[in-house]
């Protein structure tokens, strides 16, 4: 079972990764500042899972989103609020070449399954009480 990462730990990991990451890296060919469908070009062998934002004892995390103002789900400036959807269902992955961190989860709709990915940016992490 992946290690649960609370918000302070997530912030610490994000800051540390930003300080040590080396540009440029070919871990992704697509800019992933906002949520994107996982690119086919993503080489998953370069990534390792370092933890989860899903609390182990939470059998059904909320689908409520935290999107203040005019921000939408796809926006590169959307806050990363671990207590809210989709972050409460995410795992945190690290590129083993450059050290960058990414959030990943699987979106399931009535007729599809879509693996989504977003770069973890410390400045966007928001601790919101649910």
Q: Confidence band (pLDDT; 50, 70, 90) for 54? A: very high
Of all helices (H) and strands (E), which one includes residue 16?
helix 7-20
Mean pLDDT confidence for 29-56: 92
- Residue 19, judged by CB atoms within 10 A of its CB (0-12, 13-18, 19+), counts as exposed
Q: Confidence band (pLDDT; 50, 70, 90) for 30? A: confident
Q: 66 is written with which tokens?
A: 């935290």
What's the confidence (pLDDT) of residue 57? 85
Q: Confidence band (pLDDT; 50, 70, 90) for 109? A: confident
Q: Confidence band (pLDDT; 50, 70, 90) for 108? A: confident
Q: What residue spans define the domains of the chain? A: 7-124
How far apart CA 124 and CA 120 sit, in angstroms, is 8
């Amino acid at each position: 079972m992946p290690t649960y990462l609370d918000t302070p730990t997530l912030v610490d990991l994000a800051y540390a990764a930003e300080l040590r990451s080396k540009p440029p890296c070919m871990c992704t060919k697509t800019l992933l500042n906002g949520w994107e469908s996982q690119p086919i070009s993503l080489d998953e062998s370069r990534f390792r899972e370092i933890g989860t934002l899903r609390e182990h004892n939470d059998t059904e995390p909320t689908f409520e989103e935290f999107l203040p103002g005019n921000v939408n789900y796809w926006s590169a400036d959307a806050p990363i609020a671990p207590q809210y959807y989709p972050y409460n269902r995410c795992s945190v992955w690290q590129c083993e070449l450059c050290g960058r961190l990414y959030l990943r989860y699987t979106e399931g709709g009535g007729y599809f399954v879509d693996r989504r990915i977003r770069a973890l940016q410390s400045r966007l992490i928001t601790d919101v009480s649910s």
